[in-house]
A and B are shown apart, each in its own frame.
Chain A
Amino acid sequence: MIVWVMPDSGAKTKEDYATLLALFKKENPSIDVNIRVFTRNVLWRRMFTIKHPTHEEEVPDVIQIPHYWTALLVKEGVAENLSQLDPGLSLADALLPLREHCYQPGTKDIYSYPWWFDVSALHYRADHLKLVTQHPEEDLRTWQGFLSICKALQETFHDVPGYFPVQNSDWRGSLSMRNALPCVWSAGVSLLSADKTTTQVGTKPFKEALLNYINLASKGYMPILRERGSLGTMMSGKASMMISRKQGISTFSARRGMRVHTVPLPAIGKKSVSYLSGMNLFINTLSQHKKDALKFIKFCTRPDIQTRYAKMIEVFPAFEEPFERLVSSAPRLELYREIVSSARTLPNMVITGTIMEILKHVLAICAAQLVSGTFTPASLNKELDSTAQEISYLLSIYEG
């Protein structure tokens, strides 16, 4: 059986999967599982080619996907109807925000199964922030307060070469939609209107909200397109804060006695909103080992295994009971209950993945412009206007 996954734990991914597979093998000695690790970009492209594999291409049995790809894969006909494969399969115990992303939109047929999720928060070095504020948690509640802290930190550490107040948590070292979306949502706007028939990307509030995030880089508070690990990391003392998922912060815990505190993301509007991203598993309709594939999915999503894997890669299990158990196990995790309750997810629509690809491209353009010193709010507006047109076109083709 072949399983396609994403690098969940960066360079450690293969080791973590080896541990998981050893557990699976112990219970299912007759099932061989081969793991293939692909970046999200590669996996995205392959989602459009697995339906018609060439002679040379292997056919995966189970595939890990971001939750919001489910509708697309159902539309393409590449995801197996899991409810048909196992009528007893239920999502009753899955965390509420993750449930609707497993169904074919408009039905209760399960096509992908939730495995784990992560949610963004603001992490900061207590020792650094102590130098600029007595009440970090209070100051970091608003975006304005966050920017003031950034400014104060920049002045305090001005003599540290390569210092930035905020570490860039993006894997590519670029601007990321994952971190930009909470700014947008917190400002009261979204990618699409409430009835999902029009886009808000071209509106003034959306542009302003996105600019807030980009300004972190343009004001020199956050590095972009630099060597990750060499510049601006909290661990090396060249950064003091980071907007990231729980996973992103794991590297720094218990190192050099560094105390990292976590708070909800600063709110631009009335309240703080985080980005909740789930990882689901689905079975390829072309799989020749559907029973084994289902066994593997059920194994991975079993409460004990979910908790174990989530701890291993520093994320959260997707089901309520293991999630509760995990957040109750450590006081520093208790806060995540609040963060999750105010978090938002991307909609499970055919075009969501495409919208994210387009916006990722827009941010890549902005990043390149920032590095070459040509970025202006007007250039961002222009990009977002044409993006809005493109999204409207996509809506007319695929969601009309």
Chain B
Amino acid sequence: MFDKKSYILYKFHKELNQSFQNKRELLEHALPAMRDLFKLDRVYFFDWQQERAMLSLKMMCKKEYCMDMQEDISVRNEPAFLQEMLKNGVAKTMDLGYPALYLLIKWKRPSLELRAGEVHSFMQEKVGVLRLERFRKHRVFTEQEIDLIKALGQEISHNLHNTEIDQAKNQRLNVSTALNDLATIFASSLRLNDGLELILKGVQKYFRFDRVHLYLTNAEGTKIKSVLGVDISGQVTQRDGKTLNKEEEQQLLKDVFEEAVSYRSGRSVIYIPLKVQRNKVGFLTFDNILSRRRIGYLDFISLQQFASQMALAIDNARLFERVQELSNYDELTKLPVRRYFNEKFAEEIYRSKRFDLSLSLIIIDIDWFKQINDGYGHQIGDWALKAISQVVRTSLRQTDVPCRFGGDEMMLMLPRTNGEEAKLIAHRLKESIHAITLPTRCTGGEEVHLSVSQGISSFPMDGDSVETLLERADQALYVVKQNGRGDYALYRDVADKVPHIPIAKKK
């Protein structure tokens, strides 16, 4: 047979013998159970802040329900009460004008809070205080009751420990699943930028940060190249590193890479560097500046693990982009190759047709290139090619696309440019290229100027397909060459001089 104490303990244990999602849910069961067992009028639960000697009210239970409440009570100036409670784990009081009992509850839980500049210990002791009140009938607490209340307090401690461990495990599991999902999404994104946007949005959603930013840096970590961010409304913003305030940029880089600042508690910001071996990729910042919510330790370590995967993925993606870039460019002239040009040209013709825009094409042929190669050697031939392509690259607008089309042939695509405007560009190129002279040490002191012949065609006047425009520009070039080289011509200006024979034969 159970005695009364064992029976009450059993009943209480049964009440709490279930899985609770969190401390709040557990207390919502435990406090009413205590109230009923001891005929209490009110039960309060406080967090105990040792360093401030402060009781912080969290929950109140009266009649049929429990409610979150907030109140801070300093007991710094009440040494007798404080000593009794800390020494015995229980303190009786009549300060309120009716019997009340304070009961200390201690339990261990995973350390959740991230603190700046501290070595983190995984488990920490947490202390709470229950205040039991009987204000209606003023019935005092007997010694037997206090004994029993202490035993129930231990039961609550035990349950708080289990609940908080389970909660931390579930949280960790959720976070791992979320990060795994994000990594999969990232891996399947074709473009680096799209993948990064998805990642940032995902991290913000799962971890519920106010803002998340990704700073991409150069490999030395001395310059920020770009910043991608997601703000509180979920909007993605992208900024060029050049637009950043230089002082702030340097401070950020110093904080993250040199001084390894990882957490600013005042602002609730964490910084996580992205590195692959010694190479710096960039860094991530997560902040709750607006909400002032603290950032949890578990979130921090999960994000750190995730960041190393992310750094590797970004580095790989960058390498892939670099390889693609290399395969699209001619090594000697640094101009895009024919394949790349053809793709861009087809896209631009489509756009010009759709939006009714003009487009011009210039084919450039270096005059007497075979003679230069034969007479001064291939090295000088290469030098000439480089010098001319340098002029081409530096004379064009951002939207213009040049390419090395063949041995001594170059091509220029000029979007939103009509034939007359293209002639102006060709004229400028003619002048600039003519100013180049071969190195005199290779020509025996002779001053040899370079020159090019240029054929121009433009959409829609001279043709409306890639093939026609290429053919017409080539025919205009043929006419220029026939007329002594070193000049340029627009197809429709010289159309009557073009012999009607197939291109292949002309060449």
Contacts and interface: CB of A to CB of B under 8 A. Distances in A.
B62 A225 contact: no
A302 B267 CA distance: 42
Contacts of A361: 292
A58 B217 CA distance: 41
Nearest to A15: B63
Q: Give the size range of A's interface with the partner.
A: 35 or more
Contacts of B68: 7, 37-39, 42
A172 B206 contact: no
Nearest to A357: B292
Contact of B72 (A44, A47, A173): A173
Given A49-B208, A397-B289, A75 B232 contact: yes
A13 B67 contact: yes
B233 A173 contact: no
Given A75-B232, A394-B289, A398-B290, A226 B74 contact: yes
Given A75-B232, A76-B233, A371-B77, A225 B60 contact: no
Nearest to A75: B233
A39 B56 CA distance: 13
A351 interface: yes
A351 B74 contact: no
B96 interface: yes
A354 B290 CA distance: 6
Nearest to B170: A56
Interface in B5-58: 21, 52, 54
B158 interface: no
B59 to A, nearest CB: 10
Interface in B63-101: 65, 67-74, 76-77, 95-97
B14 to A, nearest CB: 24
A13 B64 CA distance: 13
Nearest to A43: B68
B290 A350 contact: yes
A30 interface: no
A230 B67 contact: no
Contacts of B71: 171-173, 228
Contacts of A354: 289-292
Given A52-B206, A397-B289, A372 B70 contact: no
Interface string A325-365: 00000000000000000000000001100100110010010
A171 B293 contact: no
A350 B291 CA distance: 11
Given A225-B54, A394-B289, A39 B70 contact: yes
A155 interface: no
A1 interface: no
B76 A48 contact: no
B-side interface mostly: loop
Interface in B382-398: none
Contact of A225 (B65, B74, B174): B74
Residue among B71, B97, B210 with most chain A CB within 10 A: B71
A368 interface: yes
Contact of B210 (A14, A48, A173, A371): A48
A14 B65 contact: yes
B169 interface: no
Q: Which of A224, A371, A398 has the most CB of B within 10 A?
A: A371
A48 B293 contact: yes
Interface in B282-303: 288-293
A251 interface: no
Contacts of A51: 208, 234
Contacts of A75: 232-233
Contact of B69 (A39, A54, A364, A372): A39
B172 interface: no
B70 A56 contact: no
A372 B76 contact: yes
B205 interface: yes
A66 to B, nearest CB: 15
Contact of A11 (B67, B205, B288): B67
A93 B62 CA distance: 39
Interface in B316-359: none
Interface in B445-472: none
A195 interface: no
A112 interface: no
8 contacts: A11-B60, A45-B291, A45-B293, A75-B233, A354-B289, A368-B52, A371-B76, A394-B290
7 residue pairs, one from A and one from B, having the closest CB atoms: A225-B74, A48-B291, A39-B70, A371-B74, A39-B68, A52-B205, A357-B292
